[in-house]
Structure 1
Amino acid sequence: MDTWQTLPLWEEEPAATMPGTPPPARGWTDAVGVFDLETTGVEVTSDRIVTAHVGLLDASGTAVRAQSWLADPGVAIPEGATAVHGITTAHARAHGSPASVVVAAVVAALRDLLDAGIPVVAYNAPFDFSLLKYEALRHGIPPILEPSPVIDPLVLDKAHDRFRRGKRTLEAVAAHYAVPLVGAHDAAADAIAAGRVAQALARRFDIDAPLHELHTRQVGWARAQADSLTEYFIRIGRLEPDDRLDGSWPIR
């Protein structure tokens, strides 16, 4: 990944080392890209990027490449969003780079990984990749329309441990797989933890299918998971019988 450009948009972080003895390398887990966004809200078509992280982990979970960005989203950051990730409108306006510059840099960093055949891990991938797509369109930047290969630990966890009780937030799933997550809702911390969770899932469930096959399986798993959740929400009255959750993956 020597083609990556170091951009003075926020900070380039030092490598973070996973504690403990590195596990043996196994297939796609040898090198995984990681990606996360913190945003002004949860509507992928209208909300904006506030912070972003794209990095690369080696087989031991060590971050060997890390780039983070702070954007001025061009709109006010709601107090509810600030309560989650800690970035205020004033801080973003004073210290953030123009949104168009950040979006272009994030898209370029992800394209570098995907073009090299390196899987990009994103927890609940359709949120991050879809919001990035609409941000790119908003700023006249060619979007990533069919990201592949992508690894989504949320989809993998639900597929391989379907009946486990409890929450499936990144914090909860990281704790379940004994992956440290310090500073949740920081884009870098979340991205790196998600990558390590993906590697932990691969070890726990022996997920060593070829990348293209694993990507395709996740498409089907995500659709089935959305259908199952739809039926549950209809039963409890949270959705009308004609409503359906969108199971498109890894982008909507």
Structure 2
Amino acid sequence: MSWLHETLVGFDLETTGTETAESRIVTAALVEAKGGEVVRQRDWLADPGVPIPAEAAAIHGISTERAVAEGRPVAEVADEVAAALCEYWRAGIQVVVFNAAFDLSLLSAELRRHGLPSLDRRLDGAPPGPVLDPLTVDRAVDKYRKGSRTLQSACAVYGVELADAHRAGSDALAALRVGLALARKYPGEVGGLAPAELHRRQVGWHAAWAGGLQEWLRKGKEPQAVVDGSWPLRVTADTTTG
């Protein structure tokens, strides 16, 4: 039976910023679904321990005041989210993360910051996975499509409803459904592959994309540009783009 009909888990973070090494978790969500229909959803609100910039609050709707008043310590949230993710991976369940290199790298940075076990340590030395990143897959299977590659854009292209963008639960579910839509549209490259093989191919796809982008940037106004090609966790703390 295809994994399209099995349990998948959508994961998303909303944060204080866009730099994985410095930004902090504000909200997190894990959405467990079967056939795209929600079975279970878990949500977290964290007090990140630093002020939430106004521009970030305008996107996800969480102010510093609310996070302090209603959120739990970010270390507790990061620990619980990491534990839940690793429980799914140990069971062989695919975790769907749009732009996985951002969310998983930021979570990993939070774990280091607070002296908590890393993802691979929690997995007895195994790397995190299987992961399905609709952004990485979309770039590979529809390489020459013009326009942005945001989650909102992907939802429009693949006919997925995104009712409340930039809310962790909504984004996690939308990413999961985009992943399913990609699998249905591209059975040979995506849907027909075992989760472990699809994960392996995404490592190569992301590296190829990053290498192409880095080359293009260096030919232009950023001759020293570095785009980290590692996936689903970045090796470098942050990259020029992406």
* TM-score computed with the length of structure 2 as normaliser: 0.90
Is residue 179 of structure 2 the alignment partner of residue 198 of structure 1? Answer: yes
Trace 1:66-215 onto structure 2 (pairs within 5 A): 66-145=41-120, 146-206=127-187, 207=190, 208-215=192-199
SS class of match (1:168):
coil
1:191-233 superposed Cα distances (whole Å, 9 cap, x missing partner): 0000000000000001211111111100000000001111222
SS class of match (1:123):
coil
Is residue 212 of structure 2 the alignment partner of residue 236 of structure 1? Answer: no
Asked if the contact 1:114/1:149 (under 8 Å) is kept, the reply is: yes
Code of the residue aligned with 2:100 in structure 1: it is A
Residue matched to 2:210:
226
Deviation of residue 244 (structure 1)?
A: 2.2
Asked if the contact 2:217/2:225 (under 8 Å) is kept, the reply is: no
SS class of match (1:250):
coil
Asked if the contact 1:227/1:247 (under 8 Å) is kept, the reply is: yes
Matches of 2:12 and 2:182, distance apart in 1: 19
Code of the residue aligned with 1:92 in structure 2: it is A
Q: Which has the higher helix share?
A: 2
| Aligned residue pair count | 225
Matches of 1:205 and 1:63, distance apart in 2: 23
Matches of 1:243 and 1:233, distance apart in 2: 6
1:148-190 superposed Cα distances (whole Å, 9 cap, x missing partner): 1000000100110111111100000111000000111100000
Deviation of residue 250 (structure 1)?
A: 0.2
SS class of match (2:175):
helix
1:64-108 superposed Cα distances (whole Å, 9 cap, x missing partner): 111000000011001111111110000000000111111111011
Matches of 2:217 and 2:32, distance apart in 1: 37
Change in Cα spacing, 1:117 to 1:28, as seen in structure 2 (3 Å) is farther
RMSD: 1.2
SS class of match (2:119):
coil
Q: 1:58 aligns with which of 7, 31, 34?
A: 34
Matches of 2:102 and 2:62, distance apart in 1: 19
Matches of 2:183 and 2:4, distance apart in 1: 9
1:33-66 superposed Cα distances (whole Å, 9 cap, x missing partner): 111000000111111000000121102x111111
Code of the residue aligned with 2:31 in structure 1: it is G
Residue matched to 1:38:
14
Deviation of residue 29 (structure 1)?
A: 5.0
* TM-score computed with the length of structure 1 as normaliser: 0.87
